[in-house]
Amino acid sequence: MDADFPERLLFPFQPTHMRSLILLPFLACAALAQNAAPKAKSPDISKLDPAMGGNKAAAPELDWHDVTAWGVEGRILPEQERKRWFDRLPASAEGKVTPAVWSLSRDSAGMMARFKTDSASIHVHYKVMKDKLGMPHMPATGVSGADLYARDTGGKWKWVQVTRPAAQEIKVEMIQGLAPGLREYALYLPLYNGTESFQIGVPKGAKFEGLAPRAKPVVFYGTSITHGACASRPGMVHTAILGRWLDMPVVNLGFSGNGRMDKEVGDYLVQLDAAAYVIDCLPNMQPAQVAEKCVPLVRQLRAAKPGTPIILVEDRRFTNDWITPAKHKFHTDNHAALRAAHETLVAEGVKNLHYIKGDTLYGDDTEGATDASHASDLGFMRQAEAFLPVLRKALGK
C-alpha cells in the first residue's frame, strides 16, 4: 500500500502533486481552527482557596534584626572561618571532606534562631542560595522554608507558622494577630537550601531580644533522612522534634546520600563539646563498609571524648521491603554488620555506647515514608519516638 493511499480515496483522478495542492487550503483551515480553539486554563488555586497561596508581603516600617548578631543553634565551631556565614562546616573542611559532603554542608539544615518578642506579628526577610526551591517529592516549605515555633505558657514548644517560598528572596509576614505577651520563639532555617542572609522583623516599638545558642548540643551525623528528606517543614525532622522534646540544642550533620562514617567528618565531630553523638549513617552504606568504618569512627570519638554518649542507629527499612526481597536482605545484612561492630566495641570495653534498632523506625504499617526510603512527617515523628527513650537514658534525663 503506497503512502498517499488516503489521498487517492478523496482524489482518485488527480496526480499526486495536484492532490497535495488541493489539500493545502483544507490543511490551513484545520490548523487555524485548532489554534482558534480556546485552551483550558488552570485555575488559580489561591483565588479559590486563599489558604493555598503564599505569605503576605512584609509590612513597611519594621525593625529588622539580623540573626547573625546573636547566632543560631546548629552552626558548629562558630569561631572558625567560613566561606558563608550559614555553612554547616567551617571553610577548613573544603578539600578535607569529600566534595559531595562539602557541597551539602552549605545547606542550613538544623539551624535554628531563638528570640523573644511581644510583637503581635512576625516577619522574615531571607535569601536562599539555590533557585530550586522544592523537589518532586519534597515541598518548598521543607526545602527552602523557615518554620516558626513558640513556647506556650507552660513552656512547651508549639508550632506557629511556616513560610511558603516562591522566590530566592523571601520578605514576608509570617503571622499576625498573635496573642499579647512576651514569649520565646524558635525559627528553623531551610533544610535543603543554603541560607545567604536572615532577618526577623517586628513593628517599631515591639520588644525584641535575640537569644544566644545554647551549649552542649546533641550531634546527629547521618544521611538524607537526617538532612531532612522529606519533611514538609524544617521543624518536622526528627532531629528538630527531639530538640524540642528534650529542650536541648541539636546539630544536624546529615549529608544527603553521603553519610558514610567518614574519618574526615569525625575530625570535626571530635572538636565539638557534644552532649551526645548519634551516628545514623547506615542508609548510605553497604554491610562491608559498616564493618570497615564503624569501629574506627567510634574509637576516634571515644579517644577524644571518653565520657560522651555515643548512639549507633540501624538503618530504617524501606517501607516496601516486605515485597522487595533484595532490599529486605540489604537491610537485614546492614543491621547484622552494625550489631557485629557494636559487639566488638563492647568487648573492647567501650563504655556509654547505646544502640537503636531499625526495623520499626518508621512504624510497622508501611505508612511512614514518602517514597519508601525517606520519611514523611509521620515517619519522622515515629523515628523521634523511637530515639527518645534511648537518648533520655544516654543523657541521664
pLDDT one digit per residue (tens) for the chain, 397 residues: 344 434 443 444 444 444 444 445 554 445 554 555 566 677 777 777 777 888 889 989 999 999 999 999 999 999 999 999 999 999 999 999 999 999 999 999 999 999 999 999 999 999 999 999 999 999 999 999 999 999 999 999 999 999 999 999 999 999 999 999 999 999 999 999 999 999 999 999 999 999 999 999 999 999 999 999 999 999 999 999 999 999 999 999 999 999 999 999 999 999 999 999 999 999 999 999 999 999 999 999 999 999 999 999 999 999 999 999 999 999 999 999 999 999 999 999 999 999 999 999 999 999 999 999 999 999 999 999 999 999 999 999 9
What are the residues facing 253 on neighbouring strands? Answer: 221
Distance between CA 99 and CA 363 in Å, rounded? 34
By C-alpha distance, which of 194, 151, 180, 177 is closest to 56?
177
The answer to whether 62 touches 179, Cβ cutoff 8 Å, is no
Torsion angle of C-alpha atoms 293, 296, 297, 302, degrees rounded to 10: 160
| Grid cell listed for 222 | 547521618
Distance between CA 34 and CA 231 in Å, rounded? 44
pLDDT of residue 10: 40
The answer to whether 285 touches 297, Cβ cutoff 8 Å, is no
pLDDT of residue 318: 98
Distance between CA 201 and CA 61 in Å, rounded? 9
pLDDT of residue 5: 37
| Grid cell listed for 256 | 544527603
Distances (CA, A) of 252 to 108, 135, 146, 239, 323: 9, 20, 16, 7, 32
Phi, psi angle pair for 148, to nearest 5°: -105, 130
pLDDT of residue 304: 98
pLDDT of residue 30: 52
Q: Which residues lie closer than 8 Å to 264 by C-beta, 6 or more apart? A: 93, 96, 97, 98, 101
DSSP-based three-state secondary structure for 222: strand
Q: Which residues lie closer than 8 Å to 257 by C-beta, 6 or more apart? A: 100, 223, 224, 284
CA Rg value for the chain: 27
The answer to whether 240 touches 250, Cβ cutoff 8 Å, is yes
Domains and CATH numbers, the chain: 54-74+110-213 (2.60.120.260), 214-397 (3.40.50.1110)
